[in-house]
Amino acid sequence: MSTTGALHSSYCLLLLALFIVPSAWSAEPVKVSVYYESLCPDSSRFFVNQLYPVWLELKDIMANDIHCYGKANDTAVGDGYTFICQHGPDECEGNMMITCAKSYIPDEDKFMAFSNCIMDRFVGTAAGQECAQEAGVTNFSEIETCYTSVEGQQLLHQVGLLQETLDPQIYYVPWILINDVFTSEQLTAAQIALRKVVCDAYQGTPPAACST
């Protein structure tokens, strides 16, 4: 074989390897679904101490699916809805603000930073403007218009409908599923060591953060 032919063969083998090898680490991200409440102490603790820092470390292998509703219910009133929430009216308003933020902040990094700030401040909508500035969210006025209007009520109602499809139904908040599967053991483990839960569930080559 000529030198040119050998080089061509080596190049082809290299290309083949590039197509084959990535499958070892390009598995589907681990879906972490969380149903929580804006003024729930356990939700705040989980979001601030587990969900947000672990997501910052593992966002390449982790897909967030988070919904702020929890142990609430709603009743249709005209085109909108009234809500009753576990921790009172301020929580309903906070849930609505976070839901509107999810709709109006397309950048997941900024949405997660905003949500983490809200859950950390733990004063509901009172921290909205401050957390928006801290997260680099420039359209907080649109979010505020949303959560103080029928639009926000309709968006939060849709979250409630989604939550109703869960099996089993929630009996604790935060309610955590991994890859759409719920177990009580996993719920407990995720609140203590979410990083380990996500790393153990990932089917590809784990990133370096899984070894720390």
Q: What is the Cα–Cα distance from 125 to 117, expressed in whole angstroms?
A: 11
Yes or no: say if 97 and 87 are a contact pair by the CB < 8 Å rule: no
CATH architecture for segment(s) 30-211 = 3-Layer(aba) Sandwich (3.40)
pTM: 0.87
- CA gap 147, 133 in Å, rounded: 18
Q: Is the dihedral of CA 76, 80, 82, 87 positive or negative?
A: positive
pLDDT, residue 212, reads 76
Q: Name the average pLDDT for the chain.
A: 91
Element (H, E) at 63: strand 62-68
At 33, list the tokens. Answer: 């679904």
In the prediction, which pLDDT does 2 show? 52
**Domain residues of the chain, as ranges?**
30-211
Give the dihedral sign, CA 145/149/151/157: positive
Q: So what's the pLDDT on residue 15?
A: 44
Helix (H), strand (E) at residue 182:
none
DSSP assignment letter at 59:
T
Task: For residue 85, list its beta bridge partners.
Answer: 72
| Strand pairing category for 72-77 and 80-85 | antiparallel
User: Which strand (E) or helix (H) includes residue 72?
Assistant: strand 72-77
Of residues 23, 30, 110, 100, the one with CA closest to residue 62:
30
Mean pLDDT by 10 residues, the chain (212 residues): 49 44 67 98 98 97 98 98 98 98 98 98 98 98 98 98 97 98 98 98 95 84
Instruction: Find where tokens 């700030």 sit.
Output: 117
